[in-house]
Amino acid sequence: MRLPASAAIPVFSLSLLCQAAAAAEIPATSKIDAVTVYRSGAQVSRLVRQEIDAGSHTLVIKDLPAQAILGSIRVEGKADGDLRIGAVDTKRVSVLSEEAQARDDERKELEEELERLSDAMDQLRAEIETREAQKSLITNLTSLPQQPAPAGGGTANHDWARILDLIGRSMADIHGGIMQSRIAMRELGEKIEDVKKRLSALAPKQEQRTEVRVSVEAGGDVNADLIIKYQVGNASWRAQYDARLDTGSAEKPAALLLTRRATIQQVTGEAWHDVALSLSTSQPSGQSSAPELMPLTVDFKRPAPVPYASAARSRSSQELRQAAPEALRDEATQKIGGGLMSSAPAQAVVETSGHLERMAFQASFGVPGRVTVENTGEAKRVKLDDQKVSPKLNVRTVPRRDTNAYLYANIEMPNSAPYLAGPVSLFRDGSFVGMGQLPDLAPGADHELGFGSDPSVVVKYHILAEKRGETGIISSSSTDQRNFRIEIANQHGRPIDVVLIDQMPVSLNEKITVDLLGPTSPTERNYKEKRGLLAWEFPLKAAEKRTVTFGYTVAWPVDQDIDFDYRR
């Protein structure tokens, strides 16, 4: 029965709480209906659908996992009549495992089979006893010829040939029957042992669960939907992305499809079967407020304190032994008076309200449809959304290290939701080119992704000069001069923006000077706030070539040596 959304369940009054002690217990079962997974941990919502008669009752639900955090358990719901929720008690309990319950029928069948085999074994034992009795009787018949003649002098008239033949045939039948029964007993014994082993494997297993006892008061017969919410650890999700770049052409602009995916893992003690799943970027267990700074003071140094041993020399050992217990007692009294062992009246435990950490990167994603995530730790991958963006393409080259030009797409992140850090699979014109990494990015943030080398942009690097010498009338300085020429050709059928990066030395001593040379001045010095990096940024038309020529001179005192160090 579908319940009206307006029929919310109020909280018990104090009088109803008192009545709950004598309330009838109603065993209830729950089913996981929805799960919200955080970056670490999850909130699980279980649905309890229950018919409740008028009066006071206690619903007993024992199917929550042992990993449920007791302090996080909340109960809410709705009903089609007057229903109020009172006390909610929780504890850990041992119950028969679901697997053991599922195998109960199999276990009963094996017990019945063991009983049948045991009855058959008893029957074979009885047959052997009967044949052993027959064997004893026939053995007695063989002693007849040796018995004395009857009284009165007569002679017994026996057909001994027939009697002996009968005895022989009977003994053979009896021995054969006993042998067959023993063989059958051996086979039955093996079957009994096999059944016992199977029964042992199906022995009921206990597992730890969380029991929730909900006190309710119904003003009449009602149908209720109760939701039990609780937090668990050992669950998480991680972002993954696909970036598919269509480089376009002279007539068609470049386009990029950014697909957001998620990898979900959980080992919470229960499988999430066919649940409504949502993924939250918040971190409920994280720090919720900024740290506090303590006052920082400055003062003159104080004299060092006198060591304890020196200060104690003026007191006798006996005085120290007497003083120590008093001090310890005072300290213990202070701790007990202000701690958990205080004699102050006990207060009822008040559940504090939960909170979510408010971050710049926060959103909740509803996974389409209903999803199953097993309790195995194996990754479950789901797709969240697709976003189309218009990238600005450029090539970047660092010919001092690598004469390849690399294609980059500069994008403005969509305004749909924050993007969490995660790996990104890069595709260019349908081909996989490698893996990248996306940092935490707010909506609207600018970011660039590299899509591998671009063979249609050809770069050549030439060292024109490397020479050392001395300057000044009396050779007061040593010099190191180097000159370079870099040629870049665009073989695309459309224009492309180029970023050329090189470097010049950075002096760490005022006696060492570095001067930039050459006709082609860089667009930016200290590129991306890195000292000594030079960048030339320019567009290249289709089939256009550009040459960058530059160099530098380093001068230092002639009586000293210098060292170029790329690590600084």
DSSP state for residue 419 in the 8-state scheme: B
| Token duo for residue 97 | 């495992």
CB 97 within 8 A of CB 205: yes
Residue 493's Cβ-count burial label (10 Å; 0-12, 13-18, 19+) is exposed
More confident residue, 20 or 507: 507
- 548-559 residues labelled b (16+ CB within 10 A) or e (exposed): bebbbbbbbeee
Per-residue pLDDT tens over the stretch 359-390: 444 678 888 889 999 999 999 999 988 999 99
CA angle (257 as vertex; 254, 258 as ends), nearest 5: 135
Per-residue pLDDT tens over the stretch 483-524: 999 999 999 999 999 999 999 999 988 999 999 999 999 999
pLDDT for residue 2 is more than 50: no
Max CA pair span of the chain? 169
The alpha carbon of 19 is separated from its chain's Cα centroid by a whole number of angstroms, namely 43
Give the separation between CA 226 and CA 25, rounded to whole angstroms: 16
Per-residue pLDDT tens over the stretch 443-489: 899 999 999 999 999 999 999 988 887 765 556 789 999 999 999 99
Of the candidates 486, 459, 497, 478, which has an alpha carbon nearest to the alpha carbon of residue 550?
A: 486
Give the separation between CA 97 and CA 32, rounded to whole angstroms: 17
* Residue 123: C-alpha distances to residues 131, 178, 191, 197 (Å): 12, 13, 16, 23
| Token duo for residue 391 | 């990238």
Using 50, 70 and 90 to split pLDDT, how confident is the model at 255? very high
Stretch among 15-19, 50-54, 226-230, 270-274 having the lowest mean pLDDT: 15-19
Phi, psi of 137 (to 5 degrees): -65, -45
pTM of the model: 0.63
Residue found by looking up tokens 């006052």 in the block: 295
Instruction: Give the residues across from 84 on adjacent strands.
Output: 217
Q: What is the DSSP string of 288-329?
A: -SPPPPPP----PPPPPPPPHHHHHTTS-HHHHHHHHHHHHH
Average pLDDT over residues 538-551: 96
More confident residue, 237 or 19: 237
* Residue 340: partners with Cβ closer than 8 Å, 6 or more residues away: none
DSSP state for residue 121 in the 8-state scheme: H
CB 64 within 8 A of CB 43: no
CA angle (202 as vertex; 198, 204 as ends), nearest 5: 150
- Please give the single-letter amino acid code of residue 155: T
Give the separation between CA 413 and CA 411, rounded to whole angstroms: 6
pLDDT for residue 11 is more than 80: no
Of the candidates 476, 478, 501, which has an alpha carbon nearest to the alpha carbon of residue 488?
A: 501
Give the separation between CA 446 and CA 424, rounded to whole angstroms: 16
Give the separation between CA 273 and CA 374, rounded to whole angstroms: 7
* Residue 168: C-alpha distances to residues 139, 164, 173, 483, 539 (Å): 10, 6, 9, 123, 118
Give the separation between CA 515 and CA 500, rounded to whole angstroms: 20
Which pLDDT value is given to residue 279? 92
pLDDT for residue 118 is more than 80: yes
| Token duo for residue 378 | 């194996």
More confident residue, 499 or 172: 499
Give the separation between CA 102 and CA 534, rounded to whole angstroms: 71
Give the separation between CA 366 and CA 369, rounded to whole angstroms: 9
**H/E segment holding residue 118:** helix 104-141
Give me the helix-helix angle, 104-141 and 160-201, nearest 10°: 160
pLDDT for residue 177 is more than 50: yes
Give the separation between CA 99 and CA 392, rounded to whole angstroms: 57
Q: What is the DSSP string of 441-502?
A: B-TT-EEEEEEEE-TTEEEEEEEEEEEEEEETTTT-EEEEEEEEEEEEEE-SSS-EEEEEEE
DSSP state for residue 372 in the 8-state scheme: E
Which pLDDT value is given to residue 136? 81
Which pLDDT value is given to residue 102? 61
CB 23 within 8 A of CB 215: yes
- Percent of the chain with pLDDT strictly greater than 90: 49
Give the separation between CA 178 and CA 131, rounded to whole angstroms: 7
Residue 491's Cβ-count burial label (10 Å; 0-12, 13-18, 19+) is middle
Average pLDDT over residues 281-292: 71
DSSP state for residue 173 in the 8-state scheme: H
